[in-house]
Structure 1
C-alpha cells in the first residue's frame, strides 16, 4: 500500500465496495477538510483509478486518492489494524458495543495515542455493510438520525465522522468574536462617549424632571458600558451626534 501523505496518527477510513466514483472523490474531500488522509478502498465497483473520483476530489484532495490503498476484500484491508469501528444504520443482530460518532472518534484518538492502529468501515451506497463485514468490527457506530429516514450518503457519512475526529482533538473555542479589523473600545473611550452624549442631552433638557436626572444618567451610563462597543463604533456614535447637532444648528 502507498504511504500515507500525512504521517500523523489517524484512523484509516475504509470504503467497502463503493459504487460511485463521485462519492469516493467527495469522501476524499471531506477527509482532507478535517485533516484525514488515510483512505482504503475495498473492491470499488468501477475499478481503480476512477476519473470521476479524481474530478470530484478536485485539487488538493486528489492526494488522498493518490495514496489510497486498494484491497480485494475487507479482511485484507483490515489485516494490520488493531481496532475497527463499522458504521451501520440499523441493528444487524450482532452483539457489539455501539458508539455515537462523537464517542467513537474520541475513543479512536485515545487508542491511536497508545500506538494502536484504528480503522473505520463505511459500506456501499446501495445497502451499507453486510453482516460478513460487520463481524470483523470491534464496535459499531450509529448516527442518531431520523428513524424514518436513517440512510446517509457515503460521502455524508465520511464527512460526519471526519468532522467528529477533528472536533475531538480541536481546541477551537465554542464561541468567539470576529472583530472585523477593529478592537473593543477601552473604558476611557466609552467614558468619553458617555460624557459627550450626556452633555448634549443635558443641554437639550432631556434629563427631566431634575429629581430623576441622576437616575437617568446612571441608566444611560450603564447602557453604554453594557453594549461592548468597538473603537470603530464609538467613533461612529460620536460622529452621528456631531452631525445631528450641526443639522440642528447647535455648535456641538
Structure 2
C-alpha cells in the first residue's frame, strides 16, 4: 500500500530506509506533498484543455477543441436533464467538479503518478462541499420549507414519522457514501494491479501477469471515467432536491 502514502514531494533522503521517518511524518499544511502536486497537475491539464485548446476556435474544430466541446456538452446536458432549468445556473461548479475528478482519476493511472482521489481527505472534502452547498442552497431558496423533503405526504400518516427519520438519516449519510464510493473504487483497482504485477518476477507467469495487468488497467480506465460520472450525477440529483419545487 506504499503507493497511497502521502509524502513530502521534495524529500529525498540519502538513506532509503529513513524515507518513512523523514518524508511521511510531521507533514504540515504548508508542505508540498505528492497529493498537492498531482492535484495541481490535474488543474493545469484542465486549464490547458479548456483555455489553450479552445483559444483558436474554428468551425472545423481541432482535436482539443472537439474534446473540450464534447465534455462541455455532456455535462451541460446532464445538469439540465437532472436538475431542470433552475439548476443550469450551477453548471460551472458541476463542470469543474466533474473535470477535476475525471483528470485526477486518469492522471493516477500514469506510471509513478499519485492518485489523489484514492484518499478520503480529498473525496470527503469534495463530498462535504456538495453536501453543505446543497443544504445551504435549499434553505436559501425554500426556507423552512426545505425540510418538507423529509415528510413523505404520499405515505399513510401513521408511518410518516418513521419515514421522516429514515429520510433524515439517509440525507446525512450522503457525504459518506459519496466520498467512500470514489476513494474505495480507485484504491481497490490500483491495489489489485500492484498485487498482480508483483507476480511478474516469476518467469513462467510473466506472460499471464502482463495480460492480466493490461486487462485490469483497461478496466481501471473505465472505472476512472465511470466514477467521475457517478460522483457528478449524484451531485446533480442532490442539487435537484435543493432547487426543486417539492418542498411545500
Same fold (TM over 0.5): no
Q: Using CA pairs under 8 Å that are at least 6 residues apart, name the structure with larger relative contact order, 1 or 2.
A: 2
Q: TM-score, normalised by structure 1?
A: 0.23
Q: TM-score, normalised by structure 2?
A: 0.23
Larger Rg over CA atoms: 1
